[in-house]
């Protein structure tokens, strides 16, 4: 890293989280006595090299302003730029950041639904990629046997060699990321790395942590609660 390196984080938090079946948007569901989003924001606030973390909200979000945000010591800023898709939200956030960051500044994009991210993992990603020409992401090599399905039945066993499960944060230079997402605007993408790959580039994989999983279903919430030291696991649920 050089003295001019700058790092900012953005956390898309404009979705509804319908698959979780909760009455609130997923990012505000309580987890270990705090809204889910608090846990990942706290981790980013603990990383000194990250100047600011931007939470990307839906324009009609009425919950964020009711939360006590004093624990973030001014290191978290909300931007109301949520779009129809995650990619739309990230594109909107990058556009709003255009006046405050340069093309070569690093942007770390993290899912609000991955509340168990640790500050140590964020630092590991920064250390691994700060000299990288492309950028990259946290990920885990696939350990389980993978099956391809059709109509609820196995039609193929897929070789797991060289397969990884993508996580977040995903870290790229601001200029590259904005260009990649602009080019991918007409396509369906599921993460920032996919947009960068579409430009012919190869993001670096940085070994992540299994605890940095994405909360999607109720049983995921129960597991996260247990790992955070909250309620014990309900064995009948899991």
pLDDT digits (tens, 9 = 90+) for 15-72: 766 656 567 888 999 999 999 999 999 999 999 999 999 999 999 999 999 998 888 8
Within a domain: 235? no
According to the model, what pLDDT value does residue 58 have?
94
Helix (H, G, I), strand (E, B) or coil at 56: strand
pLDDT surpassing 50 at residue 232? no
**Residue 37 near residue 14 (C-beta atoms within 8 A):** no
- Separation between Cα atoms, residue 170 and residue 155, nearest integer Å: 32
For the domain that residue 39 is a member of, what is the CATH number? 3.90.550.10
* pLDDT average, residue stretch 92-98: 95
Helix (H, G, I), strand (E, B) or coil at 95: helix
* pLDDT average, residue stretch 168-180: 98
According to the model, what pLDDT value does residue 73 have?
79
Say how many domains are in the chain: 1
**Residue 91 near residue 177 (C-beta atoms within 8 A):** no
The Cβ of residue 46 has, within 10 Å, a number of other Cβ atoms equal to 14
Sheet strands (E) in the chain? 7-13, 30-31, 34-35, 50-57, 76-80, 106-109, 135-141, 146-150, 153-158, 164-173, 204-207
**Residue 233 near residue 36 (C-beta atoms within 8 A):** no
According to the model, what pLDDT value does residue 20 have?
63
Within a domain: 20? yes
Within a domain: 202? yes
The Cβ of residue 198 has, within 10 Å, a number of other Cβ atoms equal to 14
- Separation between Cα atoms, residue 38 and residue 15, nearest integer Å: 16
Within a domain: 1? no
Domain that holds residue 209: 7-227
Say what the pTM is: 0.92
Average pLDDT, the chain: 91
The Cβ of residue 49 has, within 10 Å, a number of other Cβ atoms equal to 14
How does pLDDT run across 200-225, given as a tens digit for each residue?
A: 999 999 999 999 999 988 899 999 99
Within a domain: 236? no
Which of 10-24, 93-107, 172-186 is predicted least confidently?
Answer: 10-24
Structure letter (DSSP) for residue 187? S
pLDDT surpassing 60 at residue 80? yes
Within a domain: 56? yes
Confidence of residue 4 (pLDDT cuts 50, 70, 90): low
According to the model, what pLDDT value does residue 17 have?
60
From the centroid of its chain, how far is CA 79? 16
According to the model, what pLDDT value does residue 99 have?
85
Within a domain: 66? yes
According to the model, what pLDDT value does residue 235 have?
38
As beta bridge partners, residue 30 has 35
Within a domain: 234? no
């Amino acid at each position: 890293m050089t003295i001019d390196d700058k790092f900012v984080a953005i956390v898309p938090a404009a979705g509804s989280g319908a698959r979780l079946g909760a009455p609130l948007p997923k990012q505000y569901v309580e987890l270990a006595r705090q809204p889910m989003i608090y846990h990942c924001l706290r981790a980013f606030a603990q990383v000194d090299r990250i100047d600011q973390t931007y939470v990307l909200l839906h324009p009609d979000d009425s919950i964020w302003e009711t939360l006590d945000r004093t624990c973030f010591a001014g290191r978290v800023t909300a931007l109301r730029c949520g779009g129809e898709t995650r990619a739309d939200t990230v594109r909107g956030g990058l556009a709003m950041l255009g006046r405050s960051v340069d093309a070569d500044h690093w942007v770390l994009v993290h899912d609000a639904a991955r509340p168990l991210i640790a500050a140590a993992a964020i630092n590991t990603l920064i250390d691994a990629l700060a000299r990288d020409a492309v950028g990259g992401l946290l990920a885990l090599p696939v350990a389980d046997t993978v099956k391809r399905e059709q109509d609820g039945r196995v039609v193929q066993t897929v070789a797991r060699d060289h397969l990884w499960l993508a996580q977040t944060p995903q870290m790229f230079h601001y200029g590259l990321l904005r260009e990649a997402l602009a080019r991918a605007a007409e396509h369906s993408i599921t993460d920032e790395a996919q947009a960068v790959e579409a430009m012919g580039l190869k993001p670096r994989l940085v070994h992540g942590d299994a605890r940095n999983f994405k909360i999607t279903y109720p049983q995921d919430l129960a597991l996260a609660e247990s790992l955070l030291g909250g309620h014990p696991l309900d064995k009948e649920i899991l």
